[in-house]
Structure formats: structure tokens, C-alpha cells
Amino acid sequence: MRLDLPPPSRRTLSMTSLIDVIFLLLLFFMLSSTFTRYASVDLGGGANAQAGNDGAPQLLISLRGDGILVNGIEAGEDLRSVLQRHRNDAVERATVLVGVDATSQQLVTALDVARSVGLNVMVAR
């Protein structure tokens, strides 16, 4: 005996739920990503290298693994006061020389302190 069963009906796939999921994913990724860079540090390059030869006094801040030197003298913990003293002596520019064993925190600290006392800073390696 043969039974003729009706063929199974094919259900149509609803696109509404798929579009909702894609929209929610798009919304999630747009809100979770940031388009601004937090804590970015501006590094001055050597674009105005010819301006360094005009005879104006300039500081050399050397970053090493064992400390920070200002014109060859250990600055210790009072880097701000050392740089402020030089700034009061009409020094306007500073070159930060980054040593091989210097940490990025030393670089950020030196740049922040030098700019806060009003020095124009250039980074060299």
C-alpha cells in the first residue's frame, strides 16, 4: 500500500530577524570603538634642524635607564625645578636624547615636564 503524502512545505526565511541582528552588531561596533586617540604624545621631529644653529642656548635632556641627565648633570626627582631654572635663564629649546635602555615613561615624563615649563622640545635618538 502506497501512501501519497504531500511534499513538505518549504518555509520562507524571514529577513527581519537577520536585519535586526546585523543592525545590532553595527550599533555595537560603532559604540564600542573610539575614533579619538587618548593619551597621545606629540613628538617633535627634526623638521627645523637649520634653526638649531642660531646660537640660542639649548638644553640636552638625556634619558637613560639609570636616570635623566640635563646637560650632563643628573636631574634626579626634581626635573621640573631644574628645567624651570634653565628656562628662567632664557633657554627656549630642549632636545630629548632617548637612550637605548630608556623607558617610555621617562620619555613621556620628560616631554610633559619640558612642555609645562614652556620649552620647545625636539626628540632625538
Read off the pLDDT band of 2 (50, 70, 90).
confident
34 in a structural domain: no
Which domain does 74 fall in, by range? 57-124
CA distance 29 to 59: 46
**Number of domains, the chain:** 1
104 in a structural domain: yes
72 in a structural domain: yes
83 in a structural domain: yes
74 in a structural domain: yes
Please state whether the predicted TM-score (pTM) of the whole model is above 0.75.
Answer: no
31 in a structural domain: no
What own/partner pairs with CB < 8 Å and gap ≥ 24 does 75-80 have? 79/109, 79/110, 79/113, 80/113, 80/116, 80/117
Give the model confidence (pLDDT) of 37-68 as tens digits. 666 666 666 555 555 556 678 889 999 989 99
Read off the pLDDT band of 14 (50, 70, 90).
confident
